[in-house]
Amino acid sequence: MDDRTEIESLGEFGLIAKITEGIKLQQPTSLVGVGDDAAVIAASASANASADQVTNDRIVVTTDMLCEGVHFDLTYAPLKHLGYKAVVVNLSDICAMNATPTQITVGLAISNRFSVEAVEELYEGIRLACERYSVDLIGGDTTASASGLTLAITALGRAQDENITLRRGAEEGDLLVVSGELGSAYMGLQILEREKHVFKEAPGAQPDLSGFDELLERQLKPEARVDIVAELAKLKVQPKAMIDISDGLASEALHLAGAGLTQAEDGKGLGVRIYEDKIPMSEKMYDAAREFNLDPTLCALSGGEDYELLFVISQDQFDQIQNHPMFSVIGHFTADPSDRTLITRSGGEAELKAQGWDSLA
Protein backbone atom coordinates (compact mmCIF):
# COMPACT_ATOMS: atom_id res chain seq x y z
CA MET A 1 0.00 0.00 0.00
CA ASP A 2 1.32 3.44 -0.94
CA ASP A 3 2.27 5.82 1.85
CA ARG A 4 -0.36 8.40 2.65
CA THR A 5 0.66 12.02 3.16
CA GLU A 6 -1.72 14.06 5.26
CA ILE A 7 -2.57 17.49 3.83
CA GLU A 8 -2.05 19.14 7.22
CA SER A 9 1.60 18.03 7.16
CA LEU A 10 2.16 20.38 4.21
CA GLY A 11 -0.19 23.23 5.11
CA GLU A 12 -1.75 25.57 2.58
CA PHE A 13 1.40 26.94 0.99
CA GLY A 14 3.17 23.58 0.97
CA LEU A 15 0.18 21.99 -0.77
CA ILE A 16 0.05 24.77 -3.36
CA ALA A 17 3.76 24.31 -4.07
CA LYS A 18 3.25 20.55 -4.38
CA ILE A 19 0.33 20.60 -6.80
CA THR A 20 1.67 23.42 -8.98
CA GLU A 21 5.21 22.06 -9.27
CA GLY A 22 6.18 21.71 -12.90
CA ILE A 23 3.31 23.78 -14.29
CA LYS A 24 4.53 25.77 -17.27
CA LEU A 25 2.78 28.71 -18.89
CA GLN A 26 2.00 27.94 -22.54
CA GLN A 27 0.20 31.07 -23.73
CA PRO A 28 2.32 34.12 -24.62
CA THR A 29 -0.29 36.33 -22.98
CA SER A 30 0.14 34.55 -19.60
CA LEU A 31 2.80 36.71 -17.99
CA VAL A 32 2.58 35.76 -14.28
CA GLY A 33 1.01 32.54 -13.04
CA VAL A 34 0.79 30.73 -9.70
CA GLY A 35 2.78 32.13 -6.80
CA ASP A 36 1.72 35.74 -6.47
CA ASP A 37 -1.34 37.59 -5.16
CA ALA A 38 -2.82 37.49 -8.65
CA ALA A 39 -2.06 36.31 -12.17
CA VAL A 40 -1.08 38.81 -14.86
CA ILE A 41 -2.29 38.54 -18.45
CA ALA A 42 -1.44 40.73 -21.42
CA ALA A 43 -4.58 42.42 -22.71
CA SER A 44 -5.60 41.68 -26.28
CA ALA A 45 -5.51 44.51 -28.75
CA SER A 46 -8.80 46.10 -29.71
CA ALA A 47 -9.43 47.38 -33.21
CA ASN A 48 -8.75 50.98 -32.24
CA ALA A 49 -6.14 50.41 -29.49
CA SER A 50 -3.01 52.49 -29.59
CA ALA A 51 0.41 50.85 -29.78
CA ASP A 52 1.11 51.77 -26.17
CA GLN A 53 -2.12 50.19 -24.98
CA VAL A 54 -1.42 46.98 -26.87
CA THR A 55 2.06 46.77 -25.40
CA ASN A 56 1.52 47.87 -21.81
CA ASP A 57 -2.06 47.18 -20.71
CA ARG A 58 -2.34 44.27 -18.27
CA ILE A 59 -5.26 42.29 -16.84
CA VAL A 60 -4.85 41.03 -13.27
CA VAL A 61 -6.90 38.03 -12.07
CA THR A 62 -7.33 36.42 -8.64
CA THR A 63 -9.72 33.95 -6.99
CA ASP A 64 -10.50 33.44 -3.32
CA MET A 65 -12.91 31.09 -1.58
CA LEU A 66 -14.73 31.49 1.74
CA CYS A 67 -16.21 28.35 3.32
CA GLU A 68 -18.66 28.25 6.22
CA GLY A 69 -17.11 26.76 9.32
CA VAL A 70 -13.58 27.44 8.05
CA HIS A 71 -13.44 31.12 7.07
CA PHE A 72 -16.59 32.48 8.69
CA ASP A 73 -19.14 31.69 11.39
CA LEU A 74 -22.72 32.71 10.69
CA THR A 75 -23.39 32.81 14.43
CA TYR A 76 -22.01 36.34 14.38
CA ALA A 77 -21.26 37.16 10.73
CA PRO A 78 -24.32 38.82 9.10
CA LEU A 79 -24.87 37.65 5.53
CA LYS A 80 -24.78 41.20 4.21
CA HIS A 81 -21.38 41.76 5.83
CA LEU A 82 -20.18 38.39 4.54
CA GLY A 83 -21.07 39.30 0.96
CA TYR A 84 -19.23 42.61 1.29
CA LYS A 85 -16.17 41.00 2.86
CA ALA A 86 -16.00 38.24 0.23
CA VAL A 87 -15.63 40.89 -2.47
CA VAL A 88 -13.14 42.99 -0.50
CA VAL A 89 -10.69 40.15 0.21
CA ASN A 90 -10.40 39.56 -3.53
CA LEU A 91 -10.08 43.23 -4.41
CA SER A 92 -7.29 43.43 -1.84
CA ASP A 93 -5.27 40.91 -3.88
CA ILE A 94 -5.73 43.10 -6.95
CA CYS A 95 -4.47 46.10 -4.97
CA ALA A 96 -1.46 44.03 -3.85
CA MET A 97 -0.41 43.90 -7.51
CA ASN A 98 -0.55 47.73 -7.61
CA ALA A 99 -3.56 47.46 -9.92
CA THR A 100 -7.11 48.83 -9.94
CA PRO A 101 -10.01 46.35 -9.54
CA THR A 102 -12.61 46.45 -12.29
CA GLN A 103 -14.86 43.34 -12.34
CA ILE A 104 -15.85 40.27 -10.30
CA THR A 105 -17.65 36.98 -10.83
CA VAL A 106 -19.37 35.11 -7.98
CA GLY A 107 -19.59 31.37 -7.42
CA LEU A 108 -22.11 30.34 -4.76
CA ALA A 109 -22.79 26.89 -3.29
CA ILE A 110 -25.67 26.97 -0.82
CA SER A 111 -27.71 24.41 1.11
CA ASN A 112 -31.49 24.30 1.47
CA ARG A 113 -31.38 25.65 5.01
CA PHE A 114 -30.98 29.10 3.45
CA SER A 115 -34.01 31.01 2.18
CA VAL A 116 -34.33 33.20 -0.88
CA GLU A 117 -34.32 36.20 1.47
CA ALA A 118 -31.00 35.04 2.94
CA VAL A 119 -29.44 34.85 -0.52
CA GLU A 120 -30.77 38.32 -1.31
CA GLU A 121 -29.17 39.64 1.88
CA LEU A 122 -25.83 38.09 0.90
CA TYR A 123 -26.01 39.66 -2.55
CA GLU A 124 -26.94 43.02 -1.10
CA GLY A 125 -23.52 43.03 0.56
CA ILE A 126 -21.88 42.00 -2.71
CA ARG A 127 -23.66 44.81 -4.56
CA LEU A 128 -22.67 47.37 -1.92
CA ALA A 129 -19.01 46.41 -2.28
CA CYS A 130 -19.26 46.67 -6.06
CA GLU A 131 -20.76 50.16 -5.74
CA ARG A 132 -18.18 51.24 -3.16
CA TYR A 133 -15.25 50.25 -5.39
CA SER A 134 -16.84 50.92 -8.82
CA VAL A 135 -16.51 47.23 -9.70
CA ASP A 136 -18.89 45.38 -12.04
CA LEU A 137 -20.48 42.04 -11.18
CA ILE A 138 -20.31 40.32 -14.57
CA GLY A 139 -21.28 36.69 -13.93
CA GLY A 140 -20.70 33.55 -11.91
CA ASP A 141 -22.36 30.28 -10.95
CA THR A 142 -24.84 29.07 -8.34
CA THR A 143 -25.27 25.48 -7.22
CA ALA A 144 -26.55 23.33 -4.36
CA SER A 145 -24.41 22.39 -1.39
CA ALA A 146 -24.87 19.30 0.77
CA SER A 147 -24.27 21.49 3.79
CA GLY A 148 -23.40 25.08 4.53
CA LEU A 149 -22.38 27.99 2.34
CA THR A 150 -19.34 28.51 0.12
CA LEU A 151 -18.49 31.70 -1.76
CA ALA A 152 -15.87 31.73 -4.52
CA ILE A 153 -15.14 35.10 -6.07
CA THR A 154 -12.88 35.91 -8.98
CA ALA A 155 -11.71 39.50 -9.26
CA LEU A 156 -10.18 41.23 -12.26
CA GLY A 157 -8.22 44.44 -12.43
CA ARG A 158 -6.09 46.51 -14.77
CA ALA A 159 -2.73 48.23 -14.68
CA GLN A 160 0.03 49.33 -16.98
CA ASP A 161 2.90 46.87 -17.20
CA GLU A 162 5.42 49.23 -15.60
CA ASN A 163 3.19 49.61 -12.53
CA ILE A 164 2.58 45.89 -11.85
CA THR A 165 4.20 44.89 -8.56
CA LEU A 166 4.98 41.27 -7.73
CA ARG A 167 6.00 39.64 -4.45
CA ARG A 168 9.53 39.22 -5.73
CA GLY A 169 11.78 42.23 -6.06
CA ALA A 170 13.18 43.07 -2.62
CA GLU A 171 16.95 43.49 -2.33
CA GLU A 172 19.39 43.78 0.54
CA GLY A 173 18.99 47.13 2.31
CA ASP A 174 15.49 47.81 1.00
CA LEU A 175 12.86 49.11 3.42
CA LEU A 176 9.68 47.31 4.52
CA VAL A 177 6.61 49.56 4.66
CA VAL A 178 3.03 48.90 5.75
CA SER A 179 -0.19 50.85 5.37
CA GLY A 180 -2.70 51.50 8.14
CA GLU A 181 -2.79 49.77 11.52
CA LEU A 182 -2.51 46.08 12.33
CA GLY A 183 -4.16 43.58 14.66
CA SER A 184 -7.61 45.15 14.86
CA ALA A 185 -9.36 42.49 12.78
CA TYR A 186 -7.93 39.75 14.99
CA MET A 187 -9.11 41.48 18.15
CA GLY A 188 -12.55 41.94 16.57
CA LEU A 189 -12.65 38.18 16.08
CA GLN A 190 -11.67 37.55 19.71
CA ILE A 191 -14.52 39.77 20.90
CA LEU A 192 -17.04 37.97 18.69
CA GLU A 193 -15.80 34.56 19.83
CA ARG A 194 -16.06 35.63 23.47
CA GLU A 195 -19.65 36.72 23.05
CA LYS A 196 -20.47 33.52 21.16
CA HIS A 197 -19.14 31.51 24.10
CA VAL A 198 -21.19 33.58 26.55
CA PHE A 199 -24.31 33.04 24.43
CA LYS A 200 -23.76 29.26 24.41
CA GLU A 201 -23.48 29.26 28.19
CA ALA A 202 -26.44 31.59 28.66
CA PRO A 203 -28.66 31.79 25.52
CA GLY A 204 -30.64 34.70 26.93
CA ALA A 205 -27.57 36.90 27.50
CA GLN A 206 -27.19 40.05 25.44
CA PRO A 207 -23.81 40.53 23.71
CA ASP A 208 -21.53 43.16 25.25
CA LEU A 209 -20.09 44.86 22.18
CA SER A 210 -20.12 48.48 23.34
CA GLY A 211 -16.93 50.40 22.64
CA PHE A 212 -15.64 47.83 20.14
CA ASP A 213 -17.19 49.18 16.94
CA GLU A 214 -13.85 49.93 15.27
CA LEU A 215 -12.47 46.43 15.93
CA LEU A 216 -15.68 44.65 14.92
CA GLU A 217 -15.86 46.57 11.66
CA ARG A 218 -12.26 45.63 10.81
CA GLN A 219 -13.23 41.96 11.21
CA LEU A 220 -16.72 41.91 9.71
CA LYS A 221 -16.46 44.65 7.10
CA PRO A 222 -12.84 45.26 6.07
CA GLU A 223 -11.88 47.57 3.23
CA ALA A 224 -9.54 47.07 0.27
CA ARG A 225 -6.79 49.68 0.13
CA VAL A 226 -7.43 51.05 -3.35
CA ASP A 227 -6.60 54.42 -1.83
CA ILE A 228 -3.04 53.25 -1.16
CA VAL A 229 -2.57 52.30 -4.82
CA ALA A 230 -3.76 55.78 -5.80
CA GLU A 231 -1.58 57.46 -3.17
CA LEU A 232 1.57 55.63 -4.28
CA ALA A 233 0.90 56.77 -7.85
CA LYS A 234 0.38 60.34 -6.63
CA LEU A 235 3.67 60.24 -4.72
CA LYS A 236 5.42 58.64 -7.73
CA VAL A 237 6.51 55.74 -5.54
CA GLN A 238 6.87 52.44 -7.40
CA PRO A 239 7.09 49.57 -4.86
CA LYS A 240 9.69 46.92 -5.65
CA ALA A 241 7.50 44.16 -4.14
CA MET A 242 4.10 44.04 -2.45
CA ILE A 243 1.63 41.70 -0.75
CA ASP A 244 -1.60 42.17 1.19
CA ILE A 245 -1.81 41.17 4.85
CA SER A 246 -4.35 38.37 5.00
CA ASP A 247 -2.38 35.80 7.01
CA GLY A 248 -0.50 38.10 9.41
CA LEU A 249 2.38 40.58 9.16
CA ALA A 250 5.10 38.06 10.03
CA SER A 251 3.92 35.52 7.47
CA GLU A 252 3.65 38.10 4.68
CA ALA A 253 7.03 39.69 5.49
CA LEU A 254 8.66 36.27 5.26
CA HIS A 255 6.94 35.69 1.90
CA LEU A 256 8.51 38.90 0.58
CA ALA A 257 11.90 37.98 2.02
CA GLY A 258 11.78 34.46 0.58
CA ALA A 259 10.90 35.82 -2.86
CA GLY A 260 13.53 38.56 -2.68
CA LEU A 261 16.27 38.98 -5.24
CA THR A 262 19.63 37.75 -4.02
CA GLN A 263 23.07 37.01 -5.38
CA ALA A 264 23.39 34.01 -3.07
CA GLU A 265 24.09 30.79 -4.93
CA ASP A 266 21.56 28.87 -2.86
CA GLY A 267 18.78 31.19 -4.04
CA LYS A 268 17.01 31.23 -0.69
CA GLY A 269 16.02 34.86 -0.81
CA LEU A 270 16.71 37.46 1.86
CA GLY A 271 16.51 37.99 5.57
CA VAL A 272 14.18 40.51 7.18
CA ARG A 273 14.32 42.51 10.41
CA ILE A 274 11.20 44.18 11.84
CA TYR A 275 11.21 46.75 14.66
CA GLU A 276 8.50 46.21 17.25
CA ASP A 277 8.20 49.88 18.13
CA LYS A 278 7.54 50.76 14.48
CA ILE A 279 4.57 48.38 14.02
CA PRO A 280 1.39 50.53 13.75
CA MET A 281 -1.34 49.56 16.21
CA SER A 282 -4.48 51.46 17.20
CA GLU A 283 -5.10 52.37 20.81
CA LYS A 284 -8.40 50.45 20.70
CA MET A 285 -6.63 47.28 19.56
CA TYR A 286 -3.86 47.65 22.13
CA ASP A 287 -6.28 48.12 25.00
CA ALA A 288 -8.50 45.24 23.89
CA ALA A 289 -5.52 42.90 23.60
CA ARG A 290 -4.48 43.76 27.16
CA GLU A 291 -8.05 43.16 28.34
CA PHE A 292 -7.87 39.67 26.80
CA ASN A 293 -4.42 39.06 28.31
CA LEU A 294 -2.90 38.96 24.84
CA ASP A 295 0.34 40.48 23.60
CA PRO A 296 -0.64 43.34 21.22
CA THR A 297 2.53 42.84 19.18
CA LEU A 298 1.73 39.16 18.65
CA CYS A 299 -1.79 40.12 17.55
CA ALA A 300 -0.32 42.52 14.99
CA LEU A 301 2.29 40.02 13.78
CA SER A 302 0.09 36.94 13.52
CA GLY A 303 -3.56 38.02 13.63
CA GLY A 304 -4.25 38.36 9.92
CA GLU A 305 -7.27 39.66 7.99
CA ASP A 306 -6.07 43.26 8.20
CA TYR A 307 -5.95 43.55 4.39
CA GLU A 308 -3.41 46.34 4.64
CA LEU A 309 -0.66 46.51 2.02
CA LEU A 310 2.90 45.49 2.88
CA PHE A 311 5.44 46.72 0.36
CA VAL A 312 9.12 47.26 -0.34
CA ILE A 313 10.89 50.44 -1.38
CA SER A 314 14.52 51.31 -1.94
CA GLN A 315 16.19 53.60 0.58
CA ASP A 316 16.29 56.48 -1.91
CA GLN A 317 12.46 56.56 -1.85
CA PHE A 318 12.31 57.03 1.93
CA ASP A 319 11.97 60.82 1.75
CA GLN A 320 8.83 60.46 -0.39
CA ILE A 321 6.91 58.59 2.34
CA GLN A 322 8.65 59.83 5.49
CA ASN A 323 6.08 61.04 8.05
CA HIS A 324 3.22 60.20 5.68
CA PRO A 325 0.12 59.37 7.79
CA MET A 326 -0.79 56.38 5.61
CA PHE A 327 2.55 54.58 5.90
CA SER A 328 4.91 53.15 8.51
CA VAL A 329 8.46 52.01 7.75
CA ILE A 330 8.78 48.96 9.99
CA GLY A 331 11.96 47.18 8.94
CA HIS A 332 14.50 46.28 6.28
CA PHE A 333 15.93 43.33 4.36
CA THR A 334 19.31 41.71 4.93
CA ALA A 335 21.50 39.43 2.84
CA ASP A 336 21.29 36.45 5.22
CA PRO A 337 18.14 34.39 4.46
CA SER A 338 18.27 32.87 7.95
CA ASP A 339 17.88 36.34 9.49
CA ARG A 340 14.23 36.42 10.60
CA THR A 341 14.35 38.88 13.44
CA LEU A 342 12.02 41.01 15.52
CA ILE A 343 13.87 43.82 17.28
CA THR A 344 11.97 44.31 20.53
CA ARG A 345 11.21 47.62 22.19
CA SER A 346 13.95 46.93 24.72
CA GLY A 347 16.51 46.37 21.95
CA GLY A 348 16.53 42.59 22.24
CA GLU A 349 16.07 40.15 19.39
CA ALA A 350 13.42 37.45 18.91
CA GLU A 351 12.80 35.05 16.04
CA LEU A 352 10.18 36.23 13.57
CA LYS A 353 7.81 33.31 13.03
CA ALA A 354 4.97 32.82 10.56
CA GLN A 355 2.16 31.94 12.95
CA GLY A 356 -0.67 33.38 10.90
CA TRP A 357 -3.80 31.65 9.58
CA ASP A 358 -3.37 28.45 7.58
CA SER A 359 -6.71 26.71 6.91
CA LEU A 360 -5.02 23.41 5.97
CA ALA A 361 -2.46 23.22 8.78
Domain residue limits, the chain: 7-163, 175-351
67-81 pLDDT per residue, tens: 998 899 999 999 999
Q: Does domain 7-163 correspond to CATH entry 1.10.760.10? A: no
Confidence of residue 15 (pLDDT cuts 50, 70, 90): low
The percent of residues above 70 in pLDDT, for the chain, comes to 86
**Residue 218 clears pLDDT 70, i.e. is over it:** yes
Helix pair 226-235, 79-95: axis angle to 10 deg: 30
The answer to which of 89-93, 116-120, 192-196, 278-282 has the lowest mean pLDDT is: 192-196
Question: Would the CATH topology of 7-163 be identical to that of 175-351?
Answer: no
Residue 190 has pLDDT above 90, yes or no: yes
Give me the chain's average pLDDT, please. 89
Q: Kindly state the percentage of the chain with pLDDT values over 90.
A: 72
* Mean pLDDT, residues 235-251: 96
Thinking of the domain 175-351, which architecture would CATH place it in? Alpha-Beta Complex (3.90)
What pTM, to 2 d.p., does this model score?
0.88
Pairwise CA distance, residues 336 & 353, whole Å = 16
